[in-house]
Amino acid sequence: MEKSIFMDRAPLAIYKDARRENVKPHKRVYIKRNHEEPVDIARLSRPVQALAAGEEILRYYFLDESVRNSVLNITGERDDET
């Protein structure tokens, strides 16, 4: 049977957590308060912590437009592309 739908998963993290993985120093944002040691912004900011939470993107690729339209009809989703 010929495959007409291909699935792909890709990790996504906008701001990587240096405590969980190796991150190059120039990719970090550090905050220094008064005479304290610099601290990674993710430790001080909940919004930045949320950006560091890893997610996964699930993508589907279709061999042609007719297969894609069939899937959209089956799932009841709309095609919002303009």
- H or E element in which residue 12 lies: strand 5-12
Q: Residue 38: inside a domain, yes or no?
A: yes
Q: Report strand pairing: 39-40 vs 55-62.
A: unpaired
Q: Residue 51: inside a domain, yes or no?
A: yes
Q: Residue 80: inside a domain, yes or no?
A: no
Count of structural domains within the chain: 1
| Maximum alpha-carbon separation in the chain | 67
Q: Residue 20: inside a domain, yes or no?
A: yes
Residue 23's nearest CA partner among 37, 47, 46, 41 is: 41
Write the pLDDT tens digit of every residue in 48-59. Answer: 877 777 788 899
Q: Report strand pairing: 55-62 vs 5-12.
A: antiparallel
Write the pLDDT tens digit of every residue in 9-59. Answer: 988 777 776 666 677 777 778 888 888 898 888 888 888 877 777 788 899
